[in-house]
A and B are shown apart, each in its own frame.
Chain A
Amino acid sequence: MEKRDVKYLEAKARLVREGIIRAIGVNQRGHLGGSMSCADLVTALYFYKMRHWPEDPEHADRDRLILSKGHSVLAQYAALAHCGYFPPAALETTKQLGSFLQGHPERDRTPGVEANTGSLGQGLSIGLGLALAGRLDRRDYRVYVILGDAELAEGQVWEAATAAAFYKTDRLIAIVDHNKMQATGRIPELYDVGPIAEKFRAFGWRVLEIDGHDFAAIVDALDAADQSTGQPVAIIAHTVKGKGVSFAENVASFHNGALTEEQYQQALREIAGDGV
């Protein structure tokens, strides 16, 4: 888990993407697009960067990941399963009545999930609160918050950005999954909040900009974020919505779409690396 090994992380990412597809299943809608776009970021966090103990999910010193774009939780479920928080077979129960894997993250149902998100725009504030608690307790854990780019239209994100800069929470790292798509189509055509990196800089954040599917770049940025003092860090990760499933890439209908049996099998084949 500590190894800075791109091949190792790519193999884990294939497991995460496969888990996303299995969690969606056949003929049931699921948030494929945004889960796939942040899958490599989530993989790098759980299998490289974060200190965490699957056998002790409440460990006081664990690093925290909050998925502010809660609809992409399938990526987190798959990563948690393959870290050992629960058996990967449980992924197929996602969204079934009574399942501990809900459509959006619920902290008291799923081991490893830190907060309740789903209504967008709240995760960065929660992450800030956790970072402030950690500072009061003189603990050195870090708090990672993954936000969607379309989510940045929520005003609360910028309230949180202001407050985090004011309180100098340098252990708070925001990662923007910048896939340039909102649920209904392409951001530049529909509703564009403008230059993301410049905005975070203007709010007092240290900003890094990377290819969110390049593991060498992802781990370099996550390591560089450790070096910040007195300033929160925003990593703008350029991604592709639906990444890894050819027929879903950049297709808005797969934001929350259903797979036919044929599409389901094709997606699994493409992710495994045969038939591409």
Chain B
Amino acid sequence: MRKLACPREAYGRYLVKRAAEDERIVALDADLSGSTMSCLLREQYPERHFEMGIGEQNMVAVAAGLALGGKIPFVHSFAVFLTGRAFEQVRQSVALAKANVKLVGSSYGFSDFGDGATHQALEDVAIMRALPNMTVLVPMDPGEVEEAVDLALEIRGPVYIRISRSPMEYLPKEEPGLGPALLQDGKDLVVFANGLMTSLALEAREILAQEGISLRVVNVSCVKPLAKDGIQRLAADVKGVITVEEHSVIGGLGSAVLEALALTPKPTCLIGVEDAFGQSAQSHGELLAHYGLTTEAICERARFLMGRG
């Protein structure tokens, strides 16, 4: 049994750690600090945490001003509000201005299962990916959440980090880094995954191995800028490609992988939400099953691509 941890708690603790080392780090929140876990920084450094009330548009532009004044603001809300409600502020005041702002979108995908469609971000990667100057990170486990914070601090410019509300297991990884990372090799097919879906891809690999299908599992936490050469290399010698993400199939990881493989196409199956809003349910898993984001869905696509469907 692998170790489970809550990524947003890992995030909040790690932000405090980095803030202890770098006093330029400040945080802003829009009345969700108990969920985004920016409250941990508020406890430690109250003067460096700005509660902005329920006003995401102002919050994002205030963060841009803090960045122009030399601070490194981490801006928190649910992913859906941060990237949706404040999109145009992100576009003009942050991305166009190349402001050194880190946007931390919490409770992405179906992880806020009870609250329903209004609170479930399924298009945030697509809209952040479309903005020039924006880096988009979708960590696969709590360890990568920390790596994402480190990378965000190395980059002098806008970064979007997507963080799940649900516990995630620590996944084995050979080397640090958020680019396309080969987690388990295989020779028949490659699956590109990120976020919570990476653990499903690893499970699918074990099931498929028993059926004689060899699946290569690649984690792609950094959706933008995407290391296209890495994607091309890891897809070059296989019969087909599967992408899996807790996001709409429009504009996210699947689209990014297809763009990377446009000149060297392979039969590809995109697993994600098929152009639909979410809804309420009693668990995260229930929604993932309902919308077809499962280990079995990966196995089915793999069999199909191998001509056994």
Contacts and interface: CB of A to CB of B under 8 A. Distances in A.
Q: State whether these chains interact.
A: yes
Interface of A: 60, 106-108, 114-119, 122, 125-134, 136-137, 155-156, 159-160, 162-163, 166-167
Contacts of B62: 125-126, 128-129, 132, 160, 163
A159 to B, nearest CB: 4
B96 A129 contact: no
Interface stretch (B66-74, B169-177, B206-214): B66-74
A162 to B, nearest CB: 7
A130 B68 contact: yes
B65 interface: yes
Contact of A129 (B48, B53, B68, B88): B68
Given A132-B66, A137-B70, A116 B96 contact: yes
Contacts of A129: 61-69, 73
B88 to A, nearest CB: 6
B69 A133 contact: yes
Contacts of A60: 70
B97 A128 contact: no
Interface in B39-86: 47-48, 50, 52-53, 55, 57-58, 60-71, 73
Given A133-B65, A136-B47, A118 B92 contact: yes
A116 B73 CA distance: 17
A115 B68 CA distance: 8
A106 to B, nearest CB: 7
Interface string B177-207: 0000000000000000000000000000000
Interface residues of B, number: 30
Interface string B205-247: 0000000000000000000000000000000000000000000
A167 B57 CA distance: 17
Among A119, A126, A134, A156, the one with the most B-chain Cβ atoms within 10 Å of its Cβ is A126
B301 interface: no
Nearest to A116: B97
A130 B69 contact: yes
Contacts of A119: 88, 91-92
B89 interface: yes
A129 to B, nearest CB: 2
B98 A132 contact: no
B97 A108 contact: yes
A136 B93 contact: no
A132 B69 contact: yes
B159 to A, nearest CB: 17
Contact of A132 (B57, B65, B88, B89): B65
Among B26, B47, B61, B71, the one with the most A-chain Cβ atoms within 10 Å of its Cβ is B61
A163 B69 contact: no
Contacts of A160: 58, 61-62
B97 A134 contact: no
Q: Which 9 A-B pairs have the closest CB atoms?
A: A129-B65, A133-B69, A125-B61, A159-B58, A126-B65, A129-B62, A116-B97, A159-B55, A129-B66
Contacts of A155: 57
Nearest to B93: A122
A125 B58 contact: yes
Contacts of A127: 65
Given A108-B98, A126-B93, A133-B71, A115 B64 contact: yes
Contacts of A130: 65-66, 68-69
Interface in B86-133: 88-89, 91-93, 96-98
B92 to A, nearest CB: 5
A115 B66 CA distance: 11
A136 B50 CA distance: 12
Contacts of B89: 122, 125, 156
A132 to B, nearest CB: 6
Given A125-B62, A125-B93, A160-B61, 10 more contacts: A60-B70, A115-B68, A118-B92, A122-B93, A129-B69, A129-B73, A130-B65, A133-B65, A160-B62, A163-B53
15 contacts: A106-B97, A116-B92, A117-B92, A122-B61, A125-B89, A127-B65, A130-B69, A133-B68, A133-B70, A137-B70, A156-B61, A159-B57, A162-B55, A163-B53, A163-B55
A107 B68 contact: yes
